Structure 1
Amino acid sequence: MPRGRGRGRGRGRGRGRRGWGRPRRREVGRGVAVGGPPQERSETGPVTVTPPPVLPPVELPPQAPLQAEPPPPVEPPPQPTLPLQVSPEAAPLMGGVDANTRLMCDSIQALIQTLVTNQQASLQQAQEQAQAHAQAQATAQANALVNPPQPVRCSNWIRDFKRYDPRPFTGSLVDPIEAQMWIVVVETTFETMECPENQKVACATFVLQKDAEIWWRDNKTLLNREGGPMNWKRFKEAFLKEYYPKSERLKKQQEFAHLVQGGLTVEKYNREFNRLKRFAPSMVDTEEKMTEKCVLGLVPRIRRMLEAFNPKTYEEALRTSKALEKPKDEKQREEPVIIGQKRPHESGGSDRPPPAHRHRSNNRPAPRWDERRPP
């Protein structure tokens, strides 16, 4: 049996199994401390342990507050670059130029070529359109010469015009003022029915009768030849020239210029004033002129009282004149006088005494001239 591996009791025997893996215990008395560094052994007394020196506290300088640093800027990721291509035509001309410049020049050249091509195409298209338009106009003019346009049918407008029952005009009236009144009535009807301008002549001439119809048929061709197509303005001028001559217009203007109230009432004077004022429009074209003309035509008694009120408008002057007029005078003027009818004082209804008789009291007839001669 080899030495040191059995269960022997001697020193050095059997330690392999019991004390394997454990640290040795240091004896204090022999100068070895358990679990600490080795200490010096004193021969005269027990071993004393010296405590470590106490160091003074170290004061740290104050530190500045921490600040958050801004994040570093984020750089965009690099874009992939396409490989540059240079046309072979531009390569020999741009020998000392880099690829980017060559590519830019090629792009500009291609853009210029595209613009030039588009401009040429636009000019060509405009020329074609102009030629087509000119050809269409020439064709329309040729067709108009060969086949003149037919007149627009106006039967519907004439039918609407007849619904308003227009007064026919015969042209055989004694008073020329009726022609002017007929024009006024027809124009009022046109405004009511909203008749278009190119249908007014057809509607108005439809109600011409007798002498007026003959005049229109005889002068229609002549009027169309002189001034082109007939319109309402030219028809009205020719109509008034025929049936309301200038001499009659001047006569009515003079009649309005010398118009006074005289024996008329204010109401009748107003009616005559409104009837004649349209023949002299220059005399009443403003409110001031019309008011002045109305006041000057009143009787002196009403005119003097009216001047104290100083009316500003024609309506105000008319209203004040009616208020200043005496009712008794108005009643006497309104009362008609009939030939052969007795007056009120002759029928016994008046308090006035009868007139004195000129014959003798015995009701004997007056002697003749030959009876008075002496015998």
Structure 2
Amino acid sequence: MPNAQIRSVKSTEGVNRPKRLPSKMRRLGLSLLAVIVLGVIVFLLVPSPIEPVKWLAPTAPSLEETGPWKLNNKLSAAQLVTDAPKSPEFITFDKDGQLFTGDSDGKIYKVPFDAEGNPQKAQVFADTKGTPNGLKFDANGNLIVTDIKKGLLSINPSGSIEVLANQVDGKPIYLANELDIAKDGSIYFSDTSNYGRVTFREIAENKPHGRLLKYDPMTKQSTVLLEGLYFANGVALSADEDFVLVAESYHYQLTRYWLKGSKKGTSDIFSNNLAGFPDNITRDEQGRFWVGIFTTRLSFVDQMHSNPWLAGIMAKLPESLLSGASAPAKHGLAAEFSPQGELIGSWHDPEGSLFGITTAASHNGYLYIGTAPGGSLGVHRVLLTK
């Protein structure tokens, strides 16, 4: 019996048994878990900085099926015009056909073309010390600029800058964004949001903070034409100037404000349920409207709109995380509309070499493409042959 017991003891030698963590490490792990759980509880209990409004966004149009939004590669062969401006938000041309565009650092560039239409080296035309977005030449050759930091500006041919308006009705113009100029010199422009900056929290909140404004060069006064817009963005007059369009980026629609006729002073929807966030609007010689789509629809944003609790939670996150979550999809997209609001066609770069598109401007047989921070860099163009 004693020998048997000895053999039994020996047979268990060398067997691996699970090792228990030292008590100090266990306590540390439990403490860390408790801190995390407590942090989550506090995060959930802290009031949200916004009170979101529920919105059931319409189902996004398919980019794969037949129809005007059908996927293609019309923008994939884009040619670089200049990379001097990194984020050329808007594009316009002077009477000599020179291209003008601004950059987010305040500089406005001029790009001449040779006799064959080839772009030459970009030159700095002016520096607003702000962020110039919309640009358009008036009848006197002055470049009228909407600068999101400075307001409505006029820059004469020598580059001198004058502030036309930075207030309306005694209140600030918070974020002057885009513009168009009527034949009588009246300037129609958007005041994007009284947030005064682009922030994901405004998307999550889903409340209208934007306005459409008019500047009268005779009285030198600005007036509010339309308010309660969901991120007022691009602006364009119709060929007959009987209405002006303004893009409501956060509701995927173009709104029409009537300037003449029986509907004067009223507004309606020109086109809705776009396949992305509309940015700037330009009008070509045929009276058609071109719209840059900064990003295709973001499914999580539409889902968030249907759930105010989730939107409120999202708004608590650091702005750096929110901005990353709402970065533009790497899919270039621009849309063409008839004067009546019918979607004629769409232009894509599904490969994402060209993306974050803000402007599509038709000029001399080319479609010129501008972008904003977060998108691809530089001014590009593609032939308008379809």
Shared fold (TM-score greater than 0.5)? no
| TM bucket, shorter chain | under 0.3
Q: Which protein has the bigger strand share? A: 2
- TM-score using structure 2 length: 0.17
- TM-score (ref. length: structure 1): 0.17
Q: Which has the higher contact order (CA 8 A, sep 6+)?
A: 2
Structure with greater proportional helix content: 1
